[in-house]
């Protein structure tokens, strides 16, 4: 059976000519030899359309099923788009500053969202946000300089680093879209698939280490990104008049894409993996090495972990599936979810295994209600065993048991590091990923002067790569003068904080995030000082303007999720290594009431935590009922006497007994020891001692 191309543009053209054709209804995606799936007959015909780049060689006319499957509006738009061209190609030619609803959905696949400034009253001033696609966060020197120029010439003068290792360029006018897009393409960049219902940017550790495992992870991410890149040419047709500007693909990528031995492909289709409908929703993949959770592995649809032998040689991969952050307020059937283990595959099979997972979601993910279209809902509905069984049919093999891995750590790569090849790299913290002003000017000067490539991190930071040791001092001085400080000089709260852009441009935002988080962090620092927490202590804080979770607030120790004007839903319980899901603690917390909630939480964390216990672990251990009680009964910080250092040393047996007793009271051994000493001293002073 052949699944073929979109008939929407052809249908429209024929109707304009007054001819009548009958086209059957859509009843889901089905490829030839699909495992356990029904077969349908199709009739084929060719339509030639005057519209440029719109020739359709084969059109599917499925037999109408007895009960037609309900589909979302976006699914119909995709079907009628002639492989993501129509009606965007026509809308771009109009003089209007905006594009229509269908084109707004289609342009996402090209890496852009239509926006308007919500701070302005009266007529809407439309613009477009462009997002690049940079597997592993790699940005060549030429592309960085081009993005810097475009931000000034056609944007709002700033660049933004995203949580998926890409750039966002805001404020581009419709009339300038083609100029900006073609400039990015000709500078070794792309925005293809940075948005839309397909595989998004593939994450990998940004650190340019010359280690086998890191380089293998990054190469794997590049190959997966290439495998799942659209093939029908719509992107280049639209922005560079059909000119193909693509580097040669590794033969293993081409082989895996074309392989249809297990019914994964649409034969004779311009999109062998995606077909006319692409995926039900966005799809996210991350690749990493053991211990390195800089990519927030478990938040992705697919997590890929390199497994090496004792000599550090890559042998294969552990796979994790079903992660995702988005949800809808007060709709319990939507939820954030962590990925769970799927199994292990040898290294030569990774592209086939990933393709099988993607096809399983393509064929079975919901297309009627986009709130439930992410793969996490399919796995939650089926269970991991059924999901694994179906994926194995498309993979053609059984998954091996997952290999045991060490504990995960969050790695930021901030500061100076040895690359391992004689060069250095320098990781720079960027508040909320926003590069502007003097920082932007200085970064450009350094990157241009020393001909540096850069990498973007999933924590909205930037890494300067390939620095000679002789350049370290002048670069450090120039960065410091522009406010780009070494991590030891940045407030620890800021180092791990993230926020989405939210207002004024995001149409989904309910309240502030990027513009609001600087004040939130300052107020939390003041609370830390008030309750006696040290400056070098920190918690992972994230803020988003809506429940979509773009800054991953559901993995934070303290997450702020916009749920009304100037109010947030508070989430607690994530962990610093990004392996635990936070839970809702309070709803509708007004921004001016933050201290009333946070003071008792941090005050009790300071006094009742166990040794080296993170805030997230503490909130999970104590429980939300106790936390809620503390907030409700809070009367303010109790004034304490000045403290003086008293060093205590004891034998191991005494310490272990003291530690065991302390844990029963939710205290540290030191806290209990000081309490015993204080009581003893008071008893002696009052004449009660023996």
Write out pLDDT tens, residues 160-206: 999 999 999 999 999 999 999 999 999 999 999 999 999 999 999 99
CB contact set of 419 (below 8 Å; sequence gap of 6+): 208, 209, 210, 425, 465, 466
Percent of the chain with pLDDT over 70: 87
For Cα atoms 392, 393, 395, give the angle at the middle one, nearest 5 degrees: 60
Query: How far apart are the C-alpha atoms of 59 and 76, rounded to whole Å?
Result: 15
CATH 1.10.10.60 assigned to domain 495-633? The reply is no
Higher pLDDT, 245 or 199: 199
What is the helix (H) or strand (E) element at residue 443, kind and residue range? helix 437-449
DSSP bridge partners of 283: 199
Query: How buried is residue 560: exposed, middle or buried, by Cβ count under 10 Å (0-12/13-18/19+)?
Result: buried
DSSP bridge partners of 314: 308
How confident is the prediction for the chain on average, in pLDDT? 89
Higher pLDDT, 4 or 124: 124
Distances (CA, A) of 376 to 91, 327, 341, 449: 34, 11, 13, 46
Same fold, 201-395 and 415-490: no
* CA neighbours closer than 13 Å in the CB half-sphere of residue 62: 22
What is the helix (H) or strand (E) element at residue 560, kind and residue range? strand 558-564
Higher pLDDT, 179 or 49: 179
Three-state SS string over 307-341 comes to EECCCCCEEEEEEEECCECCCCCCCCCCCCECCEE
Query: Mapping DSSP to helix (H, G, I), strand (E, B) and coil, where does residue 162 land?
Result: coil
What pLDDT is attached to residue 175? 98
CB contact set of 114 (below 8 Å; sequence gap of 6+): 98, 99, 104, 107, 126, 127, 128
Query: How far apart are the C-alpha atoms of 137 and 460, rounded to whole Å?
Result: 10
Which one from 284, 367, 434, 542 is the annotated catalytic residue? 284
Catalytic annotation present for 546: yes
Catalytic annotation present for 257: no
Which one from 136, 195, 426, 500 is the annotated catalytic residue? 500
User: Would you say residue 690 has pLDDT above 50?
Assistant: no
Mean pLDDT lowest among 102-116, 289-303, 507-521, 633-647: 633-647
What pLDDT is attached to residue 289? 98
Q: Which CATH number describes the domain made up of 201-395?
A: 3.30.413.10
The pLDDT-based confidence of 676 (bands split at 50, 70, 90) is confident
Which one from 136, 195, 426, 506 is the annotated catalytic residue? 506
- Give the pLDDT confidence of 272-328 residue by residue, as tens digits: 999 999 999 999 999 999 999 999 999 999 999 999 999 999 999 999 999 999 999
Which one from 362, 434, 546, 552 is the annotated catalytic residue? 546
Query: Would you list the domain boundaries of the chain?
Result: 201-395, 415-490, 495-633, 652-686
User: Would you say residue 14 has pLDDT above 70?
Assistant: no
Q: Are 462 and 428 in contact (CB under 8 A)?
A: yes
What does the block give as tokens for 649? 């040393």
User: Would you say residue 133 has pLDDT above 60?
Assistant: yes
The pLDDT-based confidence of 638 (bands split at 50, 70, 90) is confident
Mean pLDDT lowest among 519-533, 604-618, 629-643: 629-643
What is the helix (H) or strand (E) element at residue 541, kind and residue range? strand 541-544
What is the average per-residue pLDDT within 445-472? 98
Which one from 200, 327, 337, 542 is the annotated catalytic residue? 200
Distances (CA, A) of 231 to 84, 227, 271, 438, 589: 11, 10, 6, 41, 47
Mean pLDDT lowest among 14-28, 209-223, 408-422: 14-28
**Number of other CB atoms surrounding residue 235 within 10 Å:** 22
User: CATH class for domain 415-490?
Assistant: alpha beta
CB contact set of 17 (below 8 Å; sequence gap of 6+): none
Catalytic annotation present for 282: yes
- Picking from 135, 78, 79, 70, the residue whose alpha carbon sits closest to that of residue 107 is 78
Which one from 550, 552, 608, 667 is the annotated catalytic residue? 550
Write down the residue that tokens 């503490």 correspond to: 618
CB contact set of 13 (below 8 Å; sequence gap of 6+): 47, 49, 50, 51, 54
User: Would you say residue 49 has pLDDT above 50?
Assistant: no
| DSSP letter for each residue of 203-233 | B--------HHHHHHHHHHHHHHHHTS--S-
What pLDDT is attached to residue 534? 96
What pLDDT is attached to residue 25? 33
Catalytic annotation present for 550: yes
What pLDDT is attached to residue 641? 56
End-to-end CA distance of the chain: 94
Which one from 282, 355, 388, 609 is the annotated catalytic residue? 282
User: Would you say residue 18 has pLDDT above 70?
Assistant: no
Write down the residue that tokens 């009253």 correspond to: 121
What pLDDT is attached to residue 670? 76
Q: Are 482 and 439 in contact (CB under 8 A)?
A: yes
User: Would you say residue 616 has pLDDT above 70?
Assistant: yes
User: Would you say residue 29 has pLDDT above 60?
Assistant: no
What is the average per-residue pLDDT within 119-127? 93
The pLDDT-based confidence of 647 (bands split at 50, 70, 90) is low
What pLDDT is attached to residue 244? 79
User: Would you say residue 646 has pLDDT above 50?
Assistant: yes
Residue-level length of the chain: 690
Which one from 30, 71, 85, 131 is the annotated catalytic residue? 131
Rg, C-alpha atoms of the chain: 28
What pLDDT is attached to residue 686? 61
Three-state SS string over 599-645 comes to HHHHHHHHHHCCCCCCHHHHHHHHCHHHHHHHHHCCCCCCCCCCCCC
- Give the pLDDT confidence of 63-108 residue by residue, as tens digits: 334 445 899 999 999 999 999 999 999 999 999 999 999 999 999 9
Catalytic annotation present for 284: yes
């Amino acid at each position: 059976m052949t699944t073929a191309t979109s008939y929407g543009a052809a249908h429209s053209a024929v109707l304009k000519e007054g001819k009548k054709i009958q086209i059957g209804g859509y009843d889901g995606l089905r490829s030839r030899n699909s495992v356990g799936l029904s077969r349908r007959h199709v009739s084929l015909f060719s339509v030639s359309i005057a519209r440029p780049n719109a020739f359709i060689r084969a059109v599917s006319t499925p037999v109408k099923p007895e009960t037609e499957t309900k589909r979302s509006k976006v699914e119909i738009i995709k079907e009628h788009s002639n492989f993501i061209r129509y009606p965007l190609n026509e809308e771009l030619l109009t003089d209007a500053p905006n594009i229509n609803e269908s084109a707004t959905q289609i342009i996402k696949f090209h890496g852009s969202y239509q926006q308007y400034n919500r701070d302005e009253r009266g007529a809407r001033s439309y613009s477009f946000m462009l997002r690049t696609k940079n597997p592993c966060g790699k940005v060549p020197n030429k592309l960085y300089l081009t993005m810097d120029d475009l931000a000034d010439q056609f944007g709002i003068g700033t660049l933004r680093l995203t949580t998926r290792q890409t750039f966002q360029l805001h404020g581009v006018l419709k009339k300038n879209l083609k100029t900006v897009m073609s400039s990015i393409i000709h500078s070794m960049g792309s925005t293809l698939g940075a948005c839309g219902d397909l595989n998004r940017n593939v994450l990998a550790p940004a650190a340019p280490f010359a280690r086998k495992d890191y380089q293998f992870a990054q190469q794997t991410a590049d190959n997966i990104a290439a495998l799942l890149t659209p093939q029908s040419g719509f992107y280049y047709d639209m922005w560079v008049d059909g000119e193909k500007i693509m580097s040669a693909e590794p033969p293993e990528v081409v082989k895996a894409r074309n392989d249809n031995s297990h019914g994964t492909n649409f034969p004779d289709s311009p999109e062998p993996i995606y077909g006319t409908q692409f995926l039900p929703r966005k799809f996210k993949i991350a690749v990493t090495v053991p211990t390195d959770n800089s990519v927030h592995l478990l938040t992705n649809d697919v997590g890929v972990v390199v497994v090496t032998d004792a000599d550090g040689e890559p042998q294969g991969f552990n796979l994790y599936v079903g992660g995702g952050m988005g949800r809808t307020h007060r709709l319990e059937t939507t939820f954030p979810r962590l990925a769970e283990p799927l199994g292990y595959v040898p290294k030569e099979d990774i592209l086939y295994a990933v393709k099988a997972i993607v096809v399983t979601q393509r064929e079975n993910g919901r297309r009627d209600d986009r709130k439930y279209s992410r793969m996490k809902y399919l796995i939650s509905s089926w269970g991991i065993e059924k999901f694994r069984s179906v994926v194995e049919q498309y993979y053609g093999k059984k998954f091996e048991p997952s290999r045991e891995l060490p504990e995960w750590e969050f790695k930021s790569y901030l500061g100076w590091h040895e690359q391992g090849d004689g060069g250095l790299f320098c990781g720079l913290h960027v508040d909320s990923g926003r590069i502007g002003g003097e920082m932007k000017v200085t970064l450009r000067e350094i990157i241009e002067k020393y001909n540096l490539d850069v990498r973007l991190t999933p924590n909205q930071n930037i890494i300067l790569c390939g620095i000679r040791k002789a350049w370290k001092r002048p670069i450090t001085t120039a960065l410091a003068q522009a406010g780009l400080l070494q991590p030891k000089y940045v407030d620890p709260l800021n180092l791990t904080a993230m926020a989405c852009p939210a207002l004024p441009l995001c149409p989904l935002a309910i309240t502030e995030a990027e513009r609001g988080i600087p004040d939130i962090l300052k107020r939390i620092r003041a609370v830390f000082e008030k309750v006696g927490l040290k400056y070098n202590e920190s918690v992972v804080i994230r803020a988003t303007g809506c429940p979509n979770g773009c800054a991953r607030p559901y993995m934070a120790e303290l997450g702020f999720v916009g749920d009304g004007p100037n109010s947030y839903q508070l989430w607690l319980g994530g962990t610093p290594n990004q392996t635990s899901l936070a839970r809702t603690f309070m709803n509708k917390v007004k921004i001016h009431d933050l201290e009333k909630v946070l003071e008792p939480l941090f005050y009790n964390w300071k006094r009742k935590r166990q040794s080296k216990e993170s805030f997230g672990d503490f909130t999970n251990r104590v429980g939300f009922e106790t936390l809620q009680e503390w907030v409700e009964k809070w009367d303010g910080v109790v004034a304490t006497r000045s403290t003086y250092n008293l060093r205590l040393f004891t034998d191991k047996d005494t310490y272990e007994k003291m530690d065991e007793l302390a844990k029963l009271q939710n205290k540290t051994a030191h806290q209990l020891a000081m309490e015993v000493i204080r009581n003893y001293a008071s008893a002696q002073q009052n004449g009660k001692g023996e």
